[in-house]
Structure 1
Amino acid sequence: MSLLSIRNLSVTFATGRGPFRAVDKVDLDVATGELVAIVGESGSGKSVAMLAVMGLLPWTATVTADRLSFDGKDLLALSPRERRKIIGRDLAMIFQEPMSSLNPCFTVGFQLREAMAAHLDLDKAARQARAIELLELVGIPEPERRLKAFPHQLSGGMSQRVMIAMALACRPKLIIADEPTTALDVTIQAQILDLLLRLQKDSGVGLVLITHDMGVVAETAQRVCVHYAGQQVEMQPTRGLFRDPHHPYTSALLAALPERASGRILPSIPGVVPGLADRPAGCLFSPRCRFATQTCRTIPPPRAGAELGYALCHTPLVEGHPRGLKKLEVPA
């Protein structure tokens, strides 16, 4: 049984110009110990979908799903009190911006111990010992002194390590990491990712990694979900996705990577992601797709089966297809 199981998840926001569907019919399964990556442009609904799982969306959001379960529990059927017993203990999230996610009014130690006080049966001394252990685990020197520091006294890399320590505090079964290296320099990015992957491997937790870095995806993830304009357009095992992407958007996304550029001009995807007022009647990617037909522009595409990577496309790209998709090499 999957640790996290999502079927037909949709999130609609009420706006002054009418309802806007930010997430549209997303499916996802994550097993214990598995690392699943979610990729896509900014605004493609990656973070919103996972915030819906966490129950952290504002009141303007309406969340619907055929199934939204974690560890056998129906998250949609739980009361707020019952959900709070799970969120932060068994299901944790590392947020995108540590400097805005940490409360500037409280010390690092207070914020670390707060989750433990809510979810674990530990006395004050045991919570302090666990907080020191966590900071040591994520590689923060002088943990006793750092526990007394306020967030503004830490660097960006230190703050992100604190966020990881907070996520690990109650030994969760699943961690959602929302672009955990955003706004960090390249050296610190590598350190944070190495830390996350080592901790995930050592503890055996499931990990959902939201990222823009396809290199990290190629090296770490078992499966990849590709999002576009709120929809999940493809889902494949990592090796299959890099070797033979089946959706034109996935193909264009991989072709735009600098390391795949063959000429002096870096390939790009023309146009922009559709918003509230300019969503096409058919495939949402059709205005930017070089393979689009009149059918694509007028009729919403069906979802292909597992053999074609669940691609949301009228005619998924496959090796040898007349449209001539270039084969992409997979890192060894």
Structure 2
Amino acid sequence: MPLLDIRNLSVDFATASGQFRAVDGVDVAVDTGEILAIVGESGSGKSVSMLALMGLLPWTATVTADVMNFDGTDLRGLSARKRRDIVGKDMAMIFQEPMSSLNPCFTAGFQIREALRVHLGLDKKERHARAVELFELVGIPAPEERLRAFPHQLSGGMNQRVMIAMAIACNPKLLIADEPTTALDVTIQAQILDLLTGLQKDTGMALILITHDMGVVAETAERVSVQYAGQKVEEQPVADLFETPHHPYTAALLAALPERATTRHLPTIPGVVPGQFDRPQGCLFSPRCRYSDETCRSVPPEPRDKAMGYARCHYPMSAKAEAEA
């Protein structure tokens, strides 16, 4: 049994003009000690699906799933009090924007010690010692001094490390990292990724990495799930996906990598991710896909089998290549 098992997850938001489906029938499964990457453009539902798992969506969201199990616990219908016993302790999340996720009114030390008090019941001396240990673990220099600092007194990279320290404070079984290197310079990005993968190896926790950077995926993940417009369109081991992508969207993402460019200009994907009012009748990627035909534009595709990377496509890439040959 996987540590995390989600099947047919959907998230609908109530808007002034009706319901908008941000996540549509997504499956996620992660084993203990595994690194899963979830990739896709902004608007693909990556963060929303994980926030739904954490129970952190606003009241306007309606979450449904056939299965939503974590470490043997069914999260569907779980009360807020019981969910709080899990979230922050066994299941933790590093949010995308540390400056807006940390409370500006409290010091970094107070915020990390609060998590230790609530979840582990440590006394004051033990909380302080653990906070210092965590700051040293994530590479924050002069931890005693930094514990007394407010978020605005720390750099973006330092705040990101504070967020990581808070997330791993209780030795979670699952850590979700939502764009952990966004808005950081290249050297800090590499340090943060090395830190996360090192912690994952040392503790044996499962790691879900939400990103739009395929280079990060290649360096860190073992398996990758590709999302587009709220749907999972492909899932494969990383090496297989980079070698043989089956969905045209995955192939287009990989073609846009600078190291794969064969001309002076990088390839691009025309158009934008469909929103609430411009969703196609058939395949959601069909308006941007150079292979689309009338079937693609009118009939929603079903996911293929494992051999085809569960590609949600009428004409998976390998099948199309064989037909053209």
TM-score, normalization by structure 1: 0.96
Matched residue pairs, number? Answer: 324
Please report how far the alpha carbon of residue 265 of structure 1 lies from its aligned counterpart in structure 2 after TM superposition.
1.6
- The one-letter amino acid paired with 2:323 is P
Aligned to 2:77: 77
- The one-letter amino acid paired with 1:112 is I
Aligned to 1:316: 316
1:47 aligns with 2:47: yes
- The one-letter amino acid paired with 1:272 is V
Q: Which runs of 5+ in 1 are unaligned?
A: 325-332
Distance (Å, rounded) in 2 between the aligned partners of 1:323 and 1:134: 56
CA distances 1:260-309 after superposition (whole Å, capped 9, x unpaired): 11011210011111111110100000000011010110010011011100
Please report how far the alpha carbon of residue 323 of structure 1 lies from its aligned counterpart in structure 2 after TM superposition.
4.5
Q: Secondary structure at the match of 1:209?
A: strand
Please report how far the alpha carbon of residue 82 of structure 1 lies from its aligned counterpart in structure 2 after TM superposition.
0.6
Aligned to 1:329: none
Moved more, 93-102 or 210-219: 210-219
Aligned counterparts, 1:8-19, within 5 A: 8-19=8-19
Please report how far the alpha carbon of residue 256 of structure 1 lies from its aligned counterpart in structure 2 after TM superposition.
1.1
Distance (Å, rounded) in 2 between the aligned partners of 1:198 and 1:211: 18
Aligned to 1:267: 267
Distance (Å, rounded) in 2 between the aligned partners of 1:154 and 1:193: 19
Cα RMSD for the two superposed structures? 0.9
Distance (Å, rounded) in 1 between the aligned partners of 2:90 and 2:268: 40
- The one-letter amino acid paired with 2:289 is C
Aligned counterparts, 1:54-203, within 5 A: 54-203=54-203
Aligned to 1:288: 288
Q: Secondary structure at the match of 1:321?
A: helix
Aligned to 1:328: none
Q: Secondary structure at the match of 1:6?
A: strand
- The one-letter amino acid paired with 1:201 is K
Please report how far the alpha carbon of residue 77 of structure 1 lies from its aligned counterpart in structure 2 after TM superposition.
2.8
Aligned to 2:26: 26
Distance (Å, rounded) in 1 between the aligned partners of 2:216 and 2:67: 29
Aligned to 2:230: 230
Give me the identity figure in percent. 72
- The one-letter amino acid paired with 1:33 is G
- The one-letter amino acid paired with 1:297 is R
CA distances 1:89-108 after superposition (whole Å, capped 9, x unpaired): 00000000001110000001
Q: Which runs of 5+ in 2 are unaligned?
A: none
Please report how far the alpha carbon of residue 182 of structure 1 lies from its aligned counterpart in structure 2 after TM superposition.
0.4
Distance (Å, rounded) in 2 between the aligned partners of 1:283 and 1:8: 18
Q: Secondary structure at the match of 1:322?
A: helix
- The one-letter amino acid paired with 1:322 is A
Q: Which consecutive aligned stretches of 4+ in structure 1 deviate over 4 angstroms post-superposition?
A: none
Distance (Å, rounded) in 2 between the aligned partners of 1:289 and 1:79: 43
Please report how far the alpha carbon of residue 79 of structure 1 lies from its aligned counterpart in structure 2 after TM superposition.
1.0
Q: Secondary structure at the match of 1:42?
A: coil
Distance (Å, rounded) in 2 between the aligned partners of 1:224 and 1:125: 42
Please report how far the alpha carbon of residue 317 of structure 1 lies from its aligned counterpart in structure 2 after TM superposition.
1.2
Distance (Å, rounded) in 2 between the aligned partners of 1:171 and 1:265: 45
Query: Contact between 1:113 and 1:131, CA under 8 Å: does it hold in 2?
Result: yes
Query: Contact between 1:24 and 1:231, CA under 8 Å: does it hold in 2?
Result: yes
Q: Secondary structure at the match of 1:210?
A: strand
Please report how far the alpha carbon of residue 321 of structure 1 lies from its aligned counterpart in structure 2 after TM superposition.
2.4
Please report how far the alpha carbon of residue 114 of structure 1 lies from its aligned counterpart in structure 2 after TM superposition.
0.7
Aligned to 1:330: none
Distance (Å, rounded) in 2 between the aligned partners of 1:98 and 1:80: 24
Aligned to 1:206: 206
Distance (Å, rounded) in 2 between the aligned partners of 1:99 and 1:77: 32
Query: Contact between 1:291 and 1:323, CA under 8 Å: does it hold in 2?
Result: no
Distance (Å, rounded) in 1 between the aligned partners of 2:189 and 2:324: 38
TM-score, normalization by structure 2: 0.98
CA distances 1:53-86 after superposition (whole Å, capped 9, x unpaired): 0000000000000001100101113111110100
Aligned to 2:302: 302
Query: Contact between 1:23 and 1:48, CA under 8 Å: does it hold in 2?
Result: yes
CA distances 1:174-198 after superposition (whole Å, capped 9, x unpaired): 0000000101111111111111111
Distance (Å, rounded) in 2 between the aligned partners of 1:156 and 1:269: 31
Distance (Å, rounded) in 2 between the aligned partners of 1:121 and 1:16: 44
- The one-letter amino acid paired with 1:176 is I
